[in-house]
Amino acid sequence: MNGGDVTEEAGEPVPESLWLATTSSTEYEPLPGDRRVDTAIVGGGIVGLTAAIRLKEAGHEVAVIETGRVVEGVTGHTTAKLTSQHGLRYDRLCSTFGREYARQYATANEAAIDAVERRVEEDGIECDFRRTEAYVYTESRSDGSDLLDETRAARRLGLPASYTETTPLPFDVEGAIRFDEQAEFHPRKYLLALAAAVDGDGSSVFETTRALDIDPGRQPRVTTDRGVVVADQVIVASHFPFFDRGGYFARVHPKRAYLLAVRISGEPPEGMFYSTATPPATIRGAPVDGERLLIVGGQGHEPGLDGPATSERYRRCEAFARERFEVESVEYRWSTHDLSPVDGVPFVGRLGPTTRNVYVGTGFDGWGMTGGIAAGTILADLIVNGSSPWADVFDPNRFTPAASAKALVEDNALVAARFLGDRIRTALAGSGTLPSPGEGTVVRQGGKPVAVSRGEDGELHAVSAVCPHMWCLVEWNDAERTWDCPCHGSRFDPDGTVRSGPALEDLTDRSG
Ligand SMILES: Cc1cc2nc3c(=O)[nH]c(=O)nc-3n(C[C@H](O)[C@H](O)[C@H](O)COP(=O)(O)OP(=O)(O)OC[C@H]3O[C@@H](n4cnc5c(N)ncnc54)[C@H](O)[C@@H]3O)c2cc1C
Ligand code: FES
């Protein structure tokens, strides 16, 4: 994605995701005290709610424990393409995991689209679901052979892939892979219907209830800030596993991306699009109040490394949109991060070798719509039936030397670089200049790194800059006005309140 100039005066977009802005907030009660259920599920995103409904339908009593409100995490900030086309993936999967595992990955993700369609039809869920094509396209001639290799690999796995040189996009491409019969939907409309179906008849959704710890014995216990839930098994569906007995801190890393919903002259192109550029661009249409807006975005990056500020990344997304479409206005903007696994395949199954009754689904690498539905389905099947036809490829306790070893070393070098870079940055930072309104900076105070920000009203906040999860230093996000942790993605309000985990505690106040 390149960043040309924004030539027209930008309006003020709603700084919120289209999905949140077009649905009402939920109001489930907190956990009222200690509770006994068959399965406790920590996290009310796409993984947690998919597992919950499937388990309830299989006769389980479940408790969904959500620290905030359901479907307001990453799932509330996605692009919501339902597709098994995950960039260029299958050729690499075949060579690192082998054909059989690549087929499991492909089939699980294709089945997820069918599962949503079936549920939408059977339960009459109005969530703007519709089938459409997905394209991964290139504007660079040098990517042509990669696209052909990927098309061949995908077809061999039974995916509905074909190579094409034309797309519905209003600009020229050098080549593209088309996947037929993929789908788009409104993730909150779909998942809020699932949450409503989960709650009742012995099963419950508990909001504003934060899981603090799990005792993973024969009968696991989830300790929350409202009481203890005892269960036969626990699913950790908290995006980054807040309970990390599987070394996930070193096996997944966050990747942040930015989205705009814009009004363009005429109809958005039919289909969903993803580019091979670095960083990739993503495009799809979405119905809002009788018209179709265009969602366009990208600018994906690993937080914590040098690069433009958040506001500049939004500006580049807008420049990309204006270069390729006749943009009339920018209506919404939002951003979020997903977790990329070291070997490119999510971790779904038993959380660790010593935690028999604790399960996890994480590391969707930017593709957790189908991936999250597949994960919820696999976890429910493992719990109810003891097996799933797709479990092996996603097994969190796998080791795939060809895929993992180099990536693990590189990933941990990256985390170390962030950690050391943090220290050097603050060691060099003086406490001289205080931030202007809307800005934040990390300074040293008495030898300790302090995150100082100033609100638009001029009020200063000073909180510890050390993330309580694993002690990386937070960074100022100038568009969302939050402190973000580059290591595993925790986010905090300017006054230090934790907005999303894995951190469980606030940044401590340093204003005194
Ligand atoms: C910019 C962007 C665009 C994307 N677009 C697509 C796309 O088009 N298609 C696609 O397939 N995928 C896409 N993805 C990926 C997809 O959105 C995610 O993989 C998926 O939403 C992750 O779902 P989840 O259930 O794991 O996490 P979440 O939705 O974040 O759910 C986890 C929940 O757990 C709760 N929680 C956390 N800690 C605790 C705790 N201690 N106690 C209780 N609750 C807790 C959180 O509040 C949250 O509600 C995109 C990702 C990004 C970053
Ligand atoms: S150190 Fe892990 S999220 Fe901050």
Residue 510 maps to a domain? no
In a domain, 94, yes or no: yes
| Residue 116 within a domain | no
DSSP lists the bridge partners of residue 147 as: none
The answer to the question of residue 507 being in a domain is no
- Do both 266 and 172 map to the same domain? yes
Q: Which of 256, 338, 360 maximizes ligand 1 atoms within 8 Å of its Cβ, making it the mutation to test the pocket? A: 338
Residue ending a domain, choose from 295, 325, 355: 325
| Whether the Cβ atoms of residue 318 and residue 250 lie closer than 8 Å to each other | no
Phi, psi (5° rounding) for residue 96? -95, -35
Per-residue pLDDT band for 148 (boundaries 50, 70, 90) equals: very high
Beta strands 221-224 and 233-236 are: unpaired
Helix, strand or coil for residue 421? helix
* Residue 358 in tokens: 């604790």
Do strands 233-236 and 39-42 pair parallel, antiparallel, or not at all (unpaired)? parallel
Is the distance from the beta carbon of residue 211 to the nearest atom of ligand 1 less than 6 Å?
A: yes
CATH code for position 157 = 3.30.9.10
Token pair of 318, please? 């807008």
Judge whether residue 166 has pLDDT over 70. yes
Residues 409-435 pLDDT 10s: 555 555 555 554 455 455 444 445 678
DSSP symbol at 434 = P
Range with lowest mean pLDDT among 121-130, 281-290, 375-384, 444-453: 444-453
Q: Which domain holds residue 233?
A: 31-78+188-250+344-397
Both 375 and 483 in one domain: the answer is: no
Residue 282 and residue 167 share a domain = yes
Residues 359 and 374 in one domain: yes
Q: Is the CB of 42 under 6 A from ligand 1?
A: yes
| Same-domain check for residues 170 and 276 | yes
Is the beta carbon of 377 within 6 A of some atom in ligand 1? no
Contact status, residue 360 vs residue 376, Cβ threshold 8 Å? no
Q: Calculate how far, in angstroms, residue 6's C-alpha sits from the geometric centre of ligand 1.
A: 31
* pLDDT band at residue 195 using 50, 70 and 90 as cut-offs: very high
Cα-based distances in Å from 2 to 113, 265, 325: 32, 22, 14
Domains in the chain: how many in total? Answer: 3
Q: Please tell me the distance from the alpha carbon of residue 197 to that of residue 217, in angstroms, as a whole number.
A: 30
> 471 near 417, Cβ under 8 Å?
no
Q: Is residue 405 part of a domain?
A: no
Does pLDDT of 492 surpass 80? yes
CA 436 / ligand 1 centre spacing (Å): 32
Q: Are residues 66 and 100 in the same domain?
A: no
Query: Parallel, antiparallel, or unpaired: how do β-strands 161-164 and 175-184 relate?
Result: antiparallel
Expressed in angstroms and rounded, the spacing between residue 88 Cα and the centre of ligand 2 is: 29
Strand, helix or coil at 262?
Answer: strand
pTM: 0.90
Q: Which residue has the tokens 């009593």?
A: 61
Per residue in 72-93, pLDDT (tens digit) is: 999 999 999 999 999 999 999 9
Asked if residue 203 has its Cβ within 6 Å of ligand 1, the reply is no
Q: Are residues 93 and 167 in the same domain?
A: yes
Residue-level pLDDT at 2: 36
Torsion 422-425-430-436 (CA) sign: negative
Q: Is 428 helix (H, G, I), strand (E, B) or coil?
A: helix
- Do 446 and 480 lie in one domain? The reply is yes
Ligand 1 atom at minimum distance from 46 CA:
25
The length of the chain is 512
Q: What are phi and psi of 421, to 5 degrees?
A: -60, -40
461 lines ligand 2 (CB under 6 A): no
Say how many C-beta atoms besides its own lie within 10 A of residue 220's C-beta: 21
Question: 386 is written with which tokens?
Answer: 């003891």
Query: Per-residue pLDDT tens for 438-455?
Result: 889 888 877 788 999 988
List helix spans (H) across 244-367: 310-324
Q: Are residues 22 and 291 in contact, defined by beta-carbon separation less than 8 angstroms? A: no
Share the mean pLDDT of the chain: 90
Q: Which residue, by CA, sits nearest to atom 1 of ligand 1? A: 257
Please state, in angstroms and as integers, the Cα–Cα distance from residue 190 to each residue in 19, 41, 217, 367, 439, following that order.
11, 19, 34, 17, 37
Looking at the structure, tell me whether residues 492 and 468 fall in a common domain. yes
Same domain, 233 and 267: no
Looking at the structure, tell me whether residues 194 and 66 fall in a common domain: yes
Q: Is 10 a residue whose pLDDT tops 60? A: no
Which domain CATH number covers 458? 2.102.10.10
Residue 18 in tokens: 């289209």
> What are the backbone angles phi and psi of residue 55, rounded to the nearest 5°?
-70, -40
What CATH number has the domain bearing residue 232?
A: 3.50.50.60
Q: CA 187 to CA 120: how far, in whole Å? A: 12
User: Are residue 482 and residue 368 in the same domain, yes or no?
Assistant: no
